[in-house]
Chain A
Amino acid sequence: MNWLTNFVRPKLRALVARKETPDNLWVKCPKCEQMLFTRDWEANQEVCNHCGHHMRLRPLKRLPHLFDEGKYELHPLPRVNADPLKFRDTKRYDARLKEAQAKAEGTTDALVVASGLMGSRLSIVALLDFGFMGGSMGTAVGEGLVMAADLAVARKAPLIVFSASGGARMQEGILSLMQLTRTTIAVRKVKEAGLPYIVVLTDPTTGGVSASFAMLGDVHIAEPDAIIGFAGPRVIQDTIRQELPPGFQRSEYLLEHGMVDAVVHRHKLRETLIRMVSLFMDPLVVDNRPLAVTSSR
């Protein structure tokens, strides 16, 4: 240890710590209401270490936990016609979009595309960002998924998608609906190239995203307790006017109903994805264990 780590670092830290308010030092788990030390919580990939609740993890925070040595490359989304309808509700859509971009620190829409090594294999990962306008899918997200699929095909890499979305971006009207077909085309390209397409469903995945690429994986993995469905729970309740069953539209419910292959803890995702992709793409590996000899008698 040199003087820098011993002396300067703690001092610097003390300096920073003094500015920290209790607000960002501690995080309250929305499920068990325990107070969690922010740094532990972040190191824990925003999973509560008391009750195991998985909080919504934004793409830029998730990426380092996925790739070998936390190293990856970001691929900017293609430029698109940002406000094709000149949409306006109580506010202009282009203003809302700019606001979301300003808060997003570098990302331009509700999708982040990255590539890097996972288990020493180049992999393409596309992650929806619920923190960006509710992860809603408009032209930019659709175009980003098409780009991610093209990258996977060009590099002969698996495509892994993390979904988190309230649905289509209404402010782009019919063009947001068309992204259901456009992203399905993207998925078809990957499948036709014989490459694995794996979807990790995270909280929440509903509407147009669930009714397109998020439900078309070769394999569907869900994070625990995520809301996954077509119609949002409120829409269903308003339509049928009866109580929803406990656990309705949660990952475990979908597992029970045959819609996902496995519910996997966030800490096990990386190794699960690497193993699955290897099973698809490495049809034969060296196995040096002696063959078991079973007596027939």
Chain B
Amino acid sequence: MTTYLDFEKPIAELEGKIAELRHLPNSGDVDIAEEVMRLQDKAHKQIRATYAKLTPWQRVQVARHAERPHAQAYIDRLITDYTPLAGDRAFGEDAAIVGGMGRLQGRSIVVLGQQKGDDTESRIKHNFGMARPEGYRKAQRLMRLADRFKLPVLTLVDTPGAYPGIEAEARGQAEAIASSIETCLGLGVPLVSVVIGEGGSGGALAIASSDRVYMLENSVYSVITPEGCASILWRNNANAQDAAEAMKVTAADLKKLDVIDEVIPEPMGGAHRAPDETIDVVGRVVGEAIAELAKLDGDTLRQRRQDKFLAMGKKGL
């Protein structure tokens, strides 16, 4: 059962008709089969047309689509010998950030991912991908572990933001994010990040101050959610569309600003229409990046990473 976004209504109608025809008792008839083919072709064209000109706000919705592949799906499909590791060794385990060791195309790596969850139960378990300080401290712990054994690190970014709660503040959410950024910058091993859905502010950047930052075509990355920005600057949540446009949250815009390194194209109609295909493309891109970066020594990696971020902001749109 596909969930259609508001702007996908024409697609939903066509695909609904196709499903109806297929359920007819005489669906094997030639004229019905022909009609199905005709409608499929139409739906296909409709998807292509819709996705060719998504507005920033529509992309925000695609990035948040419930059926979009989440971090665990990438790990399950790309990483062999996956061995999850848990806990920050200080307070607890935070399932909002999953991670561990495993092999990407044969190479032993440490992988970290913000996991949103795929149904109500798992969403609650993973706190909708909103990490508490323990999550960021676990991330730091695993990054240091990688550094010690000279293993590259892959991070999958997908979070609305760091969790804003009483206990998160009490245990130093700000410090946990700041230290996580500092840890990224100090790594002497390749650090590659992919924004696979939502790159929510400091909570995302905490694990993405990296040598290479990729974004999936329909993912978004921003300093604050469009809704949050709208409520502060426009004093009205309803201006989220305007905020999404003004803030430049799309992969294409961020590439133009040289804030990200590359945009990874998605299958037609978005990652949620072809999750496996999406994940495989991501696997190829990050595999190549890691192989390339693995040739560099720690000092060179740190220096280049630092230089890249220091150069940011010179270029406007």
Chain A residues proximal to chain B, CB less than 8 Å: 80-81, 83-90, 139, 142-143, 146, 168, 170-178, 180-182, 184-185, 187-188, 206-208, 210-216, 228-231, 235-236, 239-240, 242, 244-245, 248-249, 253, 257-259
Residue pair B313, A231 in contact (C-beta under 8 Å): no
User: Which of A178, A185, A213, A253 makes the CB contact (< 8 A) with B313?
Assistant: A178
Q: State A89–B224 Cα separation when bound (angstroms).
A: 15
Complex interface: chain B residues within 8 A of A83 (CB): 316
Complex interface: chain B residues within 8 A of A184 (CB): 178, 181-182, 185, 209
Stretch at the interface among B7-15, B37-45, B163-171, B263-271: B163-171
Q: State A213–B181 Cα separation when bound (angstroms).
A: 10
Q: State A294–B187 Cα separation when bound (angstroms).
A: 50
28 CB < 8 A contacts A-B: A80-B313, A81-B313, A89-B243, A89-B246, A170-B232, A173-B222, A175-B259, A175-B313, A178-B205, A178-B259, A180-B181, A181-B209, A184-B182, A185-B185, A185-B306, A188-B186, A206-B174, A208-B201, A208-B223, A210-B174, A215-B172, A230-B162, A230-B173, A231-B169, A231-B173, A235-B164, A248-B166, A249-B169
Which of B171, B178, B243, B254 counts the most chain A CB atoms within 10 A? B178
- Chain B's closest residue to A205 (CB) is B174
Given contacts A170-B247, A174-B257, are A211 and B316 in contact (CB under 8 A)? no
Q: State A84–B258 Cα separation when bound (angstroms).
A: 12
Complex interface: chain B residues within 8 A of A178 (CB): 205, 259, 309, 312-313
Complex interface: chain B residues within 8 A of A230 (CB): 162, 164, 168-169, 173-174, 177, 202
Complex interface: chain A residues within 8 A of B313 (CB): 80-81, 84, 139, 142-143, 175, 178, 182
Residue pair A177, B168 in contact (C-beta under 8 Å): no
Given contacts A168-B223, A170-B247, are A245 and B166 in contact (CB under 8 A)? yes
User: Which of A143, A210, A236 makes the CB contact (< 8 A) with B165?
Assistant: A236
User: Which of A81, A177, A206, A240 makes the CB contact (< 8 A) with B223?
Assistant: A177
Given contacts A84-B316, A85-B246, are A231 and B164 in contact (CB under 8 A)? yes
Complex interface: chain B residues within 8 A of A185 (CB): 185, 306, 309-310
Q: State A81–B317 Cα separation when bound (angstroms).
A: 11
Complex interface: chain A residues within 8 A of B243 (CB): 89
Q: State A143–B170 Cα separation when bound (angstroms).
A: 31
Q: List the 9 shortest-distance A-B pairs measured between CB atoms, nearest first.
A: A231-B164, A210-B174, A84-B316, A89-B233, A230-B174, A230-B173, A177-B223, A211-B177, A215-B178
- Chain A's closest residue to B313 (CB) is A139
- Chain B's closest residue to A186 (CB) is B310
Which of A175, A213, A253, A257 counts the most chain B CB atoms within 10 A? A175
Complex interface: chain B residues within 8 A of A212 (CB): 177-178, 181, 202
Residue pair B310, A177 in contact (C-beta under 8 Å): no
Q: State A198–B170 Cα separation when bound (angstroms).
A: 22
Given A81-B313, A89-B234, A210-B174, 7 more pairs with CB closer than 8 A: A84-B315, A173-B222, A174-B221, A174-B247, A215-B175, A216-B182, A230-B168
Residue pair B316, A81 in contact (C-beta under 8 Å): yes
- Chain B's closest residue to A228 (CB) is B174
Complex interface: chain B residues within 8 A of A228 (CB): 174
How far does the Cβ of A191 sit from chain B's closest Cβ, in whole Å? 9
How far does the Cβ of B116 sit from chain A's closest Cβ, in whole Å? 16
Which of B249, B313, B317 counts the most chain A CB atoms within 10 A? B313
Q: State A185–B311 Cα separation when bound (angstroms).
A: 12
Which of B184, B223, B224 counts the most chain A CB atoms within 10 A? B223
User: Which of A142, A173, A214, A236 makes the CB contact (< 8 A) with B169?
Assistant: A236
Residue pair A244, B223 in contact (C-beta under 8 Å): no
Complex interface: chain A residues within 8 A of B178 (CB): 180, 184, 210-216
How far does the Cβ of A94 sit from chain B's closest Cβ, in whole Å? 12
User: Which of B164, B165, B248 makes the CB contact (< 8 A) with A174?
Assistant: B248
How far does the Cβ of A146 sit from chain B's closest Cβ, in whole Å? 7
B314 at the interface (CB under 8 A from A): yes
- Chain B's closest residue to A142 (CB) is B313
Complex interface: chain A residues within 8 A of B221 (CB): 174
B46 at the interface (CB under 8 A from A): no
